[in-house]
Every structure is written in C-alpha cells, then in structure tokens.
Amino acid sequence: MTTRLLAALFALALPLPALAQNFNAAPPNAPDQRPAFAGQTRAPVIDDDTALRSTVIASGLRNPWGMDQLPDGRWLVTERIGRLRLITPEGKVSTVRGLPEVDDRRQGGLLDVAVAPDFAQTRRVWWSYAEPRGSGLNGTSVATGVLSDDEAQMQDVQVIFRQQPAWNSTAHFGSRLVFDRQGALFVTTGDRSLPEPRALAQDVTTHLGKVLRISPAGGAASGNPSIPGAQPEIWSLGHRNLQAATLDPDGALWTVEHGPRGGDELNRPEAGKNYGWPVITYGEDYSGGPIGAGLTSKPGLEQPLYYWDPVIAPSGMVFYDGALFPDWQGSLLIGALAGQALVRLELDGRTVTGEARYLQGQGRVRDVDVASDGAVMLLTDARNGSLIRLVPQ
C-alpha cells in the first residue's frame, strides 16, 4: 500500500486492515539465547480481527514525541524541534511559546509532556527535553510552567530536574513523565548510548539509565528507596533507554525500554531494584557481538516480564480503559517505531498471555494514549507526523 494511498485512507477516515499475524515468524537476532521462563517472549498471537477506523486529527507535525489530554478534550503535543502544540478535536493547531531551548540533534529535542491532575485550577504543565549544557554537552531535563489564559505562552517556567552527568551524546535521553497516585512524578532516562556512559546505568551516583521519582516542584519525592550512596531521585536502575511508561489500574508503574539488536524489555520497576543493563540483556550489540559477557541472567538482577527479539523499538504505552474497545479492556497498548505498529499485550497479572499488532507497516508509532471517550490516540514519528484517532469500524 503506497504512502499516498495510506494518507488518503487516513484523511477519509476509511477502515484499514487491523491485524497481520506473521510477526512471530521472524528469526531472533540472538538465536542462542533462551528465555528464563515460559512465555517471556513470543507470546501466542491474539486472534483479533477488529477493523479500525483511523482518522487524522492533525498532520504536518514535525516529529511529534509526546502528548497529554486537557480536561476539555484538547491535546498538548510536543515536537522534537522544540515546539509545543495545542490541538483541538477538530484538528485546529496552535503553538504555545516560552519553552526553554532544546538540543534537537538526532534523538534529542522536546520530548514528553504531562498535564497537572488539577490543570483546570492551576493550568500547570510539565515537559521533558534534551537540554544543551554547553561545549556539546546535554542531558535530560524536566521543566514546568503555567499555560497563559490566552494559551499562547508558558509562564512562570522553572527547570525542576537536570540529569547528571551531562554527556556529549545525541542519543538515549529517555524520557517519559508519569504521575503516581501519591502525586510524585516518575521520570525515565536513558544510558546516553555510548560505551562509556552505558556502564553508568549501574552507577547509582548518576541519573543515567534509571527510573527517577521526583517532587513536581523539584527534588526527590518522599518515599523513595534508600540506596547507599545513591542519587536520592533514583527509583530503579539498570535500564537502557526508557521511552515508554504508564501506571496500571492498581497504580503500579510499568515501563518498556529499547534493547540493542533484540532485548526490548517490559518491566514493572520496583523500588530499589536493578534491572540489569548492561550486565544482562536479551539483545546483542549492533556489531553482532555480545553485550559485555553475553549474559541473560545473574543473581541479584531482575528479569524482564517480557522481551522482544527482533525489537519493536517501543515508545509510548498505556493501559486501555475505555468503552469503545471492550475486548481490549486491561490490555497494554505500546507504540512501535521499528515495528511500525500498535502493539497490544493481554495480561494475566504480570504474565503476558498474548500479543497482537495493528496497522503494521503504516508508520512509526511514537506515542499512544486513550482519549476521554475511549478512542485510542497515536502520534506518528515523521517530519510530516500526525495525531491519529482510532475507533472500531
């Protein structure tokens, strides 16, 4: 199906084929590795013939990265070039100015956005971004501000978190923002990709390759684990590049992180625990060689609940809770960049029992959310990216 034809189908809100069932046929990149337990990878393909009606709400977005819905149904959407957009359900797009400068080289730029739970009263918003730190250095930072009454400007902007150390790298910034039920803000980070900072995912004196938990006003949140010598913001460690995070219905954090060649991981990070990167992984290096000693398990290091090999390149995730897709209730929806799909996982507690993929080959899905009416919302990562609304046909 050509790009022009797909664009025409999206624009006309025509039904699209939903599901292809051959994704488990691809051979793994690391064929000699073995899962630690049954069902840890390649779950049975879900037999789901749901036809989806896909409507482009807004197009022409420049590499959109993150989104969050305002109480009135409009969406705040980030573009990596440093632009924050306000998009109505009818597709009207405006720009919110006043954000700090970003480093938008390669994977950097303006990243995630999170609306205050009490936005209707406070008009407060948080966002993460790759912040230039001088001399080619940069790092993941989080800022907050108040949306002006005319919605044209962020006011009272303050940077509340700066990942340390800064690094001269243009990759693996993380980063998703998720409020927990206690009002703290989870911030996910990356290992900055290069061999030297990669090792710092195991170093608790740094913020690299970690899940962090901070106060919305800045500083470590109360109730964080006590790890000797650690940065006080650290919740969990040993992560590679976390670009997907959400809360489950019980309020627990779930994440998905990018592996190298193979080894994308689904985790439910718990306080103070070590998730292994780069000591253990179900992936291999881009050269085809092993990561470190080539281990997939080691005492004291946590196993992923699920992993992919080959990768889907995960970005954005949400538990489905809505009325439009009753068969999807409680499923985990994940965006796939390399996989170019919407991935759905069915769960039994912490066990993945089935996997489905929708809209395969129809664009890199950067973020996934559920609208207040139960529609599934997608952001496609492209220079001409889109905000797309999915409902059943």
Q: How confident is the model over 365-393, as pLDDT tens digits?
A: 999 999 999 999 999 999 999 999 999 99
E strand or H helix at 65? strand 64-69
pLDDT at 16 > cutoff 80 = no
From CA 316, how far away is CA 334, in angstroms rounded?
6
pLDDT value at residue 189:
98
Say which residue the tokens 């938008």 belong to. Answer: 104
pLDDT value at residue 6:
42
Q: How confident is the model over 290-334, as pLDDT tens digits?
A: 999 999 999 999 999 999 999 999 999 999 999 999 999 999 999
pLDDT value at residue 2:
39
Q: Where are the beta strands (DSSP E) in 97-184?
A: 110-115, 124-134, 137-147, 154-162, 177-179
Read off the tokens for 275: 């998730």
From CA 13, how far away is CA 57, in angstroms rounded?
10
Q: What would you measure as the largest C-alpha separation in the chain, in angstroms?
A: 59
- Are residues 302 and 279 in contact, defined by beta-carbon separation less than 8 angstroms? no
pLDDT band at 60 (very low <50, low <70, confident <90, very high): very high
Alpha-carbon distances, residue 195 vs 186, 282, 333 (angstroms): 26, 17, 31
Q: How confident is the model over 227-277, as pLDDT tens digits?
A: 999 999 999 999 999 999 999 999 999 999 999 999 999 999 999 999 999
SS (H, E, C) 282-325: CCECCCCCCCCCCECCCCCCCCCCEEECCCCCEEEEEECCCCCC
CATH level 3 topology of 3-392: Neuraminidase (2.120.10)
The residues annotated as belonging to the active site are 172
E strand or H helix at 119? helix 119-122
For all residues of the chain together, what is the average pLDDT?
Answer: 94
Alpha-carbon distances, residue 3 vs 59, 133, 193, 302, 363 (angstroms): 14, 39, 32, 42, 9
